[in-house]
Amino acid sequence: MSITYKDAAGIEGMRTAGRLAAEVLDHLTPFIKPGITTREIDQLAAEYMKKQGTLSATLGYQPAGYPPYPASLCTSVNNVVCHGIPNEKPLKKGDIVNVDVTVIKDGWYGDTSRMFLVGEASIAAKRLVQITYEAMWHGIVQVKPGVRLGDIGWQIQKFAESNGFSVVREFCGHGIGRNFHEEPQVLHYGKPGTLEELKPGMTFTIEPMINAGRREVKEFGNDGWTIVTKDHSLSAQWEHTVLVTDTGYEVLTLSAGSPPPPAFVNK
């Protein structure tokens, strides 16, 4: 599959899908507190998507070698790196959880995720969540025509590692459009000046997974999906879908409730 470049109509479709995905997270935010189960979060999202007129891209999603994914979103708690399946276990005070939503609207896909602190979290957990958020934005601000994907990965890696954290290598961002996963792959580590050159009309996700401990991960249990840190350390992830414009970037997964960019973004 080659990279798809979006025209004006495609960009408009991606803007709508991206905003709607972010609005699912806005809707869920007040409910994410101690005592709620991740399955209840999933049900709230499914009901809200129905009202929006969107479809969940994850429900029934089945890439080669995987069982069909059984939920409308992913919920990755504490040491779960990604693809956590919603379940009946209540969230407790101090947990951190990533909620990852992908919706389909008029054939276009919008993909975004946020971290949530459940009640009062530890200083270490808060720091991991904040540094991961800033790492994503260190990648986003690199985006403009002529830059290479390796430049994005390098900035994320350099920032995360300089703060004492590690970057997961096995999972990456991806092109997105009329398909959930398109070319190119967007690594969150790498060498400046390497990999594909960015051109206007490209749309892809930047979604670093950052571990408090070592970077190694493993599959958990036998559900075919859940990935955890090998050393049981906490893991965090944030995700936006971005467009390469003629002069820079546009974040497509912003909504009224999106956390503001870090201070360095506007300098």
Handedness of CA 88, 31, 119, 96 (dihedral sign): positive
Query: Is 111 a known ligand-binding residue?
Result: yes
Q: How far apart are CA 85 and CA 145, in angstroms?
A: 37
| Residues 6+ away with beta carbon under 8 Å from 106 | 13, 16, 17
Q: How far apart are CA 15 and CA 111, in angstroms?
A: 11
- pLDDT score for 1: 62
1 assigned to some structural domain? no
3 assigned to some structural domain? no
266 assigned to some structural domain? no
Q: Is 65 exposed, middle or buried (0-12, 13-18, 19+ CB in 10 A)?
A: exposed
Query: Is 231 a known ligand-binding residue?
Result: no
pLDDT in tens, 68-93: 999 999 999 999 999 999 999 999 99
Query: Residues 120-147: what's their mean pLDDT?
Result: 98
pLDDT in tens, 149-199: 999 999 999 999 999 999 999 999 999 999 999 999 999 999 999 999 999
Domain that holds residue 176: 8-258
| HSE-CB of 215 using CA atoms within 13 angstroms | 16
Query: Is 240 a known ligand-binding residue?
Result: no
Report how many domains make up the chain: 1
pTM, to two decimals = 0.97
21 assigned to some structural domain? yes
Asked if 132 and 115 touch (Cβ cutoff 8 Å), the reply is yes
Residue written as token pair 């949530």: 116
Nearest to 232 by CA among 212, 250, 248, 252: 212
Q: How far apart are CA 144 and CA 33, in angstroms?
A: 38
pLDDT in tens, 211-263: 999 999 999 988 999 999 999 999 999 999 999 999 999 999 999 999 999 99
CATH no. for residue 114?
Answer: 3.90.230.10
29 assigned to some structural domain? yes
2 assigned to some structural domain? no
Query: Residues 11-40: what's their mean pLDDT?
Result: 98
Query: Is 42 a known ligand-binding residue?
Result: no
Residue written as token pair 């409308």: 72
250 assigned to some structural domain? yes
Nearest to 154 by CA among 173, 171, 170, 167: 167
175 assigned to some structural domain? yes
Query: Is 219 a known ligand-binding residue?
Result: no
